[in-house]
Amino acid sequence: MKLMPVFVVGAMVAFASVAHADEWTHSQDFKYSQTASIRVVEPEGFKVVVNGKSDVVPAVFNLDNADAYMVVQVTAPDGKVWEKKIEVRANNQTVLRVKYSPAAAAAPAAGAKRSHIGSVKNTTNSCDSEKRKAYRFDFRLDGKDVQSFELAPGRYTPNVELVDGNYEVRLFTKKGGHWVFEQPASFTVDKDGWVFFYGCAQ
């Protein structure tokens, strides 16, 4: 059986997003009441602190019946915090609505290399017995060594992360207890799910 390097690349669809700053907005209105209070109705489930007391939105905080300004602090599930002084009026309930739009993930800078997950395999276990041997695979990019893998027949290394590029893969076998260069191969990494394996056709 003839030994051959085989390359398999899985498909992946990527969507770039534009980065924006976190955006907090709020609105408030007043409703007649026998005493002063702040009622926070949005965003539901966020932690809110008023006058040293904490609760989860929606929440009502009763206050002294006098005109004042109270610091309201709202914490999003991702840990981002909004804080602002909110007006309180005697004989009114301040109804507060806060909206939070988290920043989108930053798009990669132009020309920046992405990394992709794949695996390296030694499939000589499918060859004739005399061809089943350990191999060392040296991955080189732009003339520099990147990663090296020593694999016995039938073994593989998963979750290998490499950046985009056209790699030179140098194959070595052991002779007399030393790794000896055998042959080169070319391999392109441009998607998640890539697989480099060397062995016999199955």
Q: What is the CATH number of the domain that holds 170?
A: 2.60.40.10
In terms of residue numbers, what domain contains 28?
Answer: 23-101
Q: Which of 101, 127, 142 is the last residue of a domain?
A: 101
Q: State the Cα–Cα distance between residues 164 and 114, nearest whole angstrom.
A: 6
> Per-residue confidence at 105, pLDDT binned at 50, 70, 90?
low
Q: State the Cα–Cα distance between residues 113 and 12, nearest whole angstrom.
A: 16
pTM for the predicted model, two decimal places = 0.47
Per-residue model confidence (pLDDT) at position 18: 39
Side-chain-side CA neighbours of 117 within 13 Å: the count stands at 3
Per-residue model confidence (pLDDT) at position 131: 85
Same domain (yes/no): 113, 159: yes
> Per-residue confidence at 21, pLDDT binned at 50, 70, 90?
low
Q: Tell me the Cα Rg of the chain.
A: 31
Is the pLDDT at 13 greater than 90? The verdict is no
Same domain (yes/no): 86, 141: no
Same domain (yes/no): 7, 90: no
CA angle 118, 124, 128 (to 5 degrees): 160
Same domain (yes/no): 90, 118: no
Average pLDDT over residues 67-79: 93
Average pLDDT over residues 173-192: 92
148: buried, middle or exposed (CB in 10 Å: 19+, 13-18, 0-12)? middle
Q: State the Cα–Cα distance between residues 140 and 170, nearest whole angstrom.
A: 8
Same domain (yes/no): 97, 124: no
Torsion on CA atoms 127, 8, 142, 175, rounded to nearest 10: -10
CATH of the domain at 38: 2.60.40
> Per-residue confidence at 9, pLDDT binned at 50, 70, 90?
very low
Same domain (yes/no): 27, 93: yes
Same domain (yes/no): 69, 153: no
Average pLDDT over residues 176-181: 92
Q: Which of 101, 130, 149 is the last residue of a domain?
A: 101
